[in-house]
Structure 1
């Protein structure tokens, strides 16, 4: 009996880490920094001095197999005389990611009815991407650096191919791997944590019966 207990204890010790390493499902928590001043429209510039230049918020990317879901966060700027609501991601709060089809579906409400709106993930011909050859570790994962240019706009991001995941915060679909860090003139984000855990199919798949609209 004592020998059986010893074997059972060893089984628990050695199998628990293996069970925890199911890299096909889990979640990534990102810290997103929005440049409020850079995002203001011409008719909103009058509020520039009343707003902080940057705000930091969190966004969550759930993934399971080749499907994912991005939870947007709505917040109000603090410490300013003008209240401005800032929406991160889809304004209705949910964006579904189909990694195989390389497309995003935003759940939107129109006149009380729900629709799935296909996000634009097509590559723009004018965008030029260059892998610099630089690498660094983010959360223990080896990442490669890419510089993307579209005219005068420049975006830098770091991605890893260690995990079988495409995309990142905001549903950005690089087609290369999981984006863990990105910098652009309007916003930036960086993965704060990555956990492997059980994710229900219903959490990452669009609801049945909801029509897809272009």
Structure 2
């Protein structure tokens, strides 16, 4: 009896230790819902009946320690009505991947003609933080996320940030002063982490590719 009980304790301790170690690296899957109607400008309202109210895409973040790589998994949302073709596009369509490491963001951009460029942004929060701390918390995939509110022109964006993950930043290439972004809510955008798998991720996978020119941009 005593030997059996001791063996079970040792196994339990081993499993717990292994799970804790796994949280340093893994893959997070996101669902990205864009409200196209809410994004229309006053002079674009005539297109409301020609496009869907919302479109859904996916994104993935791979991370190892403080390094992370974001890859958008966009679908073709083109439509045609009465001979008029509409295609949903954004200024991020030519971004192949986004690399994040502490307060730096590198966007691997397709310049066309086989040329690529890494656009570097260094984020200096100057002790002010990312935004205003909210009073709510939210559980996403078993992780407690704190609320951060970012005010924008005419709207606000709510971020849900988990401090238990080792990297900073999140989907859409949005930076974070601390913690990983697992949820984003605004008038035109709703992003939620739908799965997290603590699997081995090679450091090379989340490091910027060698041989690509780096062009630095000033943080806004």
TM-score above 0.5: yes
* Superposition map of 1:10-25 within 5 A: 15-16=14-15, 18-21=17-20, 22-25=22-25
The equivalences for 1:1-214 within 5 A come to 15-16=14-15, 18-21=17-20, 22-40=22-40, 46-77=46-77, 81=81, 82-86=85-89, 89=92, 91-99=94-102, 102-110=103-111, 111-119=113-121, 121=123, 129-214=131-216
CA contact (8 A) 1:128 1:149 kept: no
What TM-score do you get using the length of structure 2 for normalisation? 0.78
Relative to 1, partners in 2 of residues 1:75 and 1:31: Cα closer, same or farther, differing over 3 Å?
same
Q: Which runs of 5+ in 2 are unaligned?
A: none
**Structure 1 residue 43 displacement after superposition:** 7.7
Give 1:33 shift: 0.5
Give the whole-Å Cα distance in 1 for the aligned partners of 2:202 and 2:132.
37
RMSD over equivalenced CA pairs, Å: 3.2
Question: Judging changes above 3 Å, is the alpha-carbon distance between structure 1 residues 87 and 16 closer, same or farther for their aligned structure 2 residues?
Answer: farther
* 1:163 CA displacement: 2.0
Give the number of aligned pairs: 205
